[in-house]
């Protein structure tokens, strides 16, 4: 049985699978369409699957996609561990600018689901860490937005130690700059 519970940011969920261990290893169902639709209230269609392998201290994100088209994401860490971060970047949301972090690893094998409009980032806690994520729409560079993960206004509590970011993420706009530029999505309540 998969346990799916809402996180504190509307439109994000933590998925904890039941693991079945025996002398051969383990088995788990990390995604069940019916159970997911029941818990979240709508289906999740997969249009693209991604794999990211990162060394300790690598921060990827904060990334989001224009709405429309939007992009829901379903993320898990299949090897190693990451601090996975959901950031509410939806203008008008009651939790705008707030973030929530969840450890994803190859022990608990949890996953996080994000609705379109939410920002996503993670930091590799191990050397290496492999993250797999399912996306509801294919990659479109013209629709992707990036917000600086080290933006002091967000105050994300990244792990201590050396950090490595791509040039694109390191020079990305702050939330205030993205807001002023009008590139953040509008909040649309669920339901």
CB atoms inside a 10 Å sphere around CB 119: 27
Residue-wise pLDDT tens digits, 95-133:
999 999 999 999 999 999 999 999 999 999 999 999 999
pLDDT above 70 (res 191): no
- Bigger pLDDT: 7 or 191? 7
Question: Known catalytic residue: 133?
Answer: yes
Mean pLDDT lowest among 25-34, 59-68, 151-160? 25-34
Q: pLDDT > 70: what percent of the chain?
A: 99
Whether the CB-CB separation of 185 and 64 falls below 8 Å is answered with: yes
What pLDDT is stored for residue 186 in this prediction?
95
Please tell me the predicted confidence (pLDDT) of residue 159: 96
Contacts with 91 (C-beta within 8 Å, 6 or more apart), sequence order: 179, 184, 185, 186, 187
pLDDT for res 32: 86
pLDDT bracket for residue 88 (50, 70, 90): very high
The beta strand positions in the chain, using DSSP E, are 3-6, 12-16, 19-22, 25-28, 48-54, 59-65, 73-79, 81-88, 99-105, 111-114, 118-124, 129-135, 144-146
The Cα 58–Cα 67 span in angstroms is: 27
Question: Is residue 187 among the annotated active site residues?
Answer: no
pTM of this structure: 0.94
Residue range 142-167: mean pLDDT, rounded: 97
Predicted local confidence at residue 125, as pLDDT: 98
Amino acid 56: pLDDT: 98
The DSSP output letter for 139 is -
What per-residue confidence (pLDDT) applies to 163? 96
Give the span between the Cα atoms of 60 and 66, in whole angstroms: 18
Catalytic one among 63, 74, 113, 187? 63
Mean pLDDT, residues 69-84 taken together? 97
State the catalytic residue, choosing from 74, 113, 133, 187: 133
Here the tokens at position 84 are 């996975």
89 has a pLDDT exceeding 90: yes
Arithmetic mean of pLDDT over the chain: 95
């Amino acid at each position: 049985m998969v346990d799916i519970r809402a996180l504190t940011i509307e439109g994000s969920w933590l998925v904890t699978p039941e693991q079945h261990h025996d002398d051969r290893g383990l088995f788990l169902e990390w995604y069940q369409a019916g159970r997911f639709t029941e818990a979240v209230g709508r289906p999740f269609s997969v249009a693209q699957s991604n794999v990211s392998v990162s060394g300790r201290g690598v921060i990827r994100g904060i990334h989001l996609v224009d709405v429309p088209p939007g992009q829901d994401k379903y993320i898990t860490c299949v090897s190693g561990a990451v601090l996975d971060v959901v950031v509410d970047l939806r203008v008008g949301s009651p939790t705008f600018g707030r973030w929530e972090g969840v450890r994803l690893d190859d022990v608990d094998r949890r996953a996080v689901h994000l609705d379109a409009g939410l920002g996503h980032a993670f930091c590799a806690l191990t050397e290496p860490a492999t993250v797999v994520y399912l996306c509801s729409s294919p990659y479109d560079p013209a629709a992707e937005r990036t917000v600086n993960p080290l933006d002091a206004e967000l105050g994300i509590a990244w792990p201590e130690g050396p950090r490595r970011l791509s040039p694109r993420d390191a020079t990305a706009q702050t939330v205030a700059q993205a807001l002023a530029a009008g590139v953040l999505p509008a909040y649309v309540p669920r339901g």
